[in-house]
């Protein structure tokens, strides 16, 4: 059975998240329904590089699937997109990979972007795709505070209580926070992340940017290793999986 690597773009707003569940529409479910039509109506399993939450978007999610028949990669891309025409999910690229290649387990780096806009006026064009904070933020102070989170740490404070990871210890390779015109962009780079870790860190850093917390408070939260020390969790609207490295 040929295996295909898929690069996928999607708007997470309409979905319960990446993962297929008994109730609700998922990104994985949409892809599997399209894949089934290519597979002579036989079930197809699509494995993603990670499970994005409800409302979280992707610019380049990576997944793989096996089909019973070999097709050209352009045909895979175009046929999948045809069968998902009514869904905000798009295959950007399809590639043939070895039958032991795995979208999740072979990944060595994941990058996320979180978009914040600090303006008083409501959003019209970017509603659901960026977090609006109605007062000005200090991006330099947030960037400096974020450096306490870089490296290998026990991230219990920034880990959702429903997280199924075996260990709360992760290694963050880099965090950068910069202003891009009206927006503030939070970039995170690591091999893997805990459930809602990025949103938890962004929410706590926003407290620093608002002047409600000192920079050193982030280190205290981290060292405290208690979920109750975490600041408000940022909404999913502004979070994007932007790349996966193999």
The residues that are catalytic are: 53
Give the other-Cβ count within 10 Å of 149's Cβ: 21
The angle at the Cα of 176, spanning 172 to 181, to the nearest 5 degrees, equals 155
Question: Strand (E) positions, 98-213?
Answer: 109-117, 131-132, 151-154, 169-180, 183-190
81 contact partners, CB below 8 Å, separation of at least 6: 90, 91
Q: Which residues of 111-120 are buried (b: 16+ CB within 10 A; e: fewer)?
A: bbbbbbbbee
Calpha distance 224→13 (Å, rounded): 33
Inter-residue contact 144 to 215 (CB < 8 Å)? yes
Nearest to 182 by CA among 143, 144, 145, 139: 139
Distance of CA 190 to the CA centre of its chain: 12
């Amino acid at each position: 059975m040929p295996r295909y690597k898929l690069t996928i773009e999607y708007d997470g707003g309409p979905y319960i998240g990446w993962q297929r569940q008994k109730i609700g529409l998922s990104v994985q479910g949409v892809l599997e329904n399209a894949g089934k039509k290519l597979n002579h109506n036989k079930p197809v399993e699509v494995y993603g590089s990670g499970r994005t939450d409800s409302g979280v978007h992707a610019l380049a999610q990576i997944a793989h699937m096996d089909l019973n028949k070999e097709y050209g990669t352009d045909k895979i891309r175009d046929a999948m997109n045809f069968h998902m025409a009514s869904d905000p999910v798009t295959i950007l690229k399809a590639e043939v990979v070895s039958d032991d290649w795995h979208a999740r387990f072979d990944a060595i780096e994941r990058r996320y972007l979180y978009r914040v806009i600090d303006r008083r006026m409501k959003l019209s064009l970017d509603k659901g795709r960026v977090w609006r904070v109605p007062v000005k933020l200090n991006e330099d102070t947030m960037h400096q505070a974020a450096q306490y989170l870089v490296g290998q740490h026990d991230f219990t404070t920034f880990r959702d209580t429903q997280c199924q990871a075996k260990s709360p210890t992760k290694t963050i390779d880099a965090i950068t926070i910069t202003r891009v015109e009206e927006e503030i962009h939070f970039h995170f780079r690591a091999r893997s992340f805990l459930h809602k870790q990025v949103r938890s860190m962004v929410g706590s850093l926003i407290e620093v940017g608002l002047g409600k917390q000192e920079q050193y408070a982030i280190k205290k939260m981290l060292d405290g290793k208690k979920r109750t020390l975490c600041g408000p969790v940022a909404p999913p609207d502004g979070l994007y999986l932007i790349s996966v490295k193999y």
